[in-house]
């Protein structure tokens, strides 16, 4: 525990183990097929970095910037969307990598954007989903790390007002 967290939800070791399992699940589905990861900035960067280092060296990664929370702890309407350069995705296998799924609005937005590029497949890998996410009509993850309580969490890429992204564990911030 550190002074910044009121409660640890997932320890560094729990995250490490689960990310390795997810990498194995991804590998068993795609094998050596060319795989393109698209990491949704900024929250999924650390997750994607740990994941890609356990996937075949041919795995490519690109980014999309989406922000629905700005500096708040509840979504602030339609996400801000910045498309960053990606290769031609037509006929390619694409995996969206996201930090956390709540209503699914962000992923639905990203999914619609990339489906227009006619990939051979477009799947979703999410580290965390908030309890009750299944009741939303939005996209469901193909790969999911953990279901967590409906609390605002930080660490391992997730921020509160841009802080705490570098914490190795995930938890509830003390200053919230
Ligand atoms: P939706 O509702 O679009 O929300 O599925 C997912 C996006 O909201 C952000 N989010 C969080 N960020 N701690 C955070 O730091 C949280 O507990 C949290 N819940 C949702 C996240 O950026 C994700 O892309
Ligand atoms: Mg995010």
Q: Is the distance from CB of 17 to CB of 25 less than 8 angstroms?
A: no
Q: Residue 75 pLDDT > 80, yes or no?
A: no
Closest atom of ligand 1 relative to the 130 alpha carbon: 19
Domain containing 111 equals 5-173
User: Which CATH number does the domain housing residue 112 bear?
Assistant: 3.40.50.2020
User: Global pTM?
Assistant: 0.93
| Percentage of the chain lying above the pLDDT 70 cut | 93
Kindly give the distance from the C-alpha atom of residue 42 to the centroid of ligand 2, in angstroms, as a whole number: 6
> From CA 90, how far away is CA 116, in angstroms rounded?
9
Q: Residue 38 pLDDT > 80, yes or no?
A: yes
Q: Could you tell which of 42, 47, 99 is best to mutate to test the pocket of ligand 1, judged by most ligand atoms within 8 Å of the CB?
A: 99
- pLDDT of 82 reads 82
> From CA 96, how far away is CA 70, in angstroms rounded?
21
Looking at every residue in the chain, the average pLDDT score rounds to 92
Question: Residue 89: pLDDT band by 50, 70, 90 thresholds?
Answer: very high
**Number of compact structural domains in the chain:** 1
Q: Could you tell which of 40, 106, 144 is best to mutate to test the pocket of ligand 1, judged by most ligand atoms within 8 Å of the CB?
A: 106
């Amino acid at each position: 525990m550190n002074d910044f967290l009121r409660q640890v939800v997932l320890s560094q070791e729990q995250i490490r183990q689960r990310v390795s399992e997810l990498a194995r699940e991804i590998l068993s589905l795609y094998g050596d097929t060319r795989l393109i990861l698209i990491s949704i900035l900024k929250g999924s960067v650390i997750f994607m970095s740990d994941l890609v280092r356990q996937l075949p060296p041919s795995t490519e990664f690109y980014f999309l910037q989406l922000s629905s929370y700005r500096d708040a702890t509840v979504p602030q309407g339609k996400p801000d969307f910045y498309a960053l350069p990606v290769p031609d995705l037509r006929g390619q296998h694409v995996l969206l990598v996201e930090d956390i799924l709540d209503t699914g609005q962000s992923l639905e937005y990203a999914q619609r954007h990339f489906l227009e590029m006619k990939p051979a497949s477009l799947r979703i890998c999410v580290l965390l989903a908030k309890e009750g996410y299944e009741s939303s009509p939005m996209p469901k993850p193909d790969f999911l790390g953990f279901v967590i309580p409906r609390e605002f969490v930080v660490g391992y890429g997730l921020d509160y007002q841009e802080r705490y992204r570098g914490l190795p564990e995930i938890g509830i911030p003390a200053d919230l």
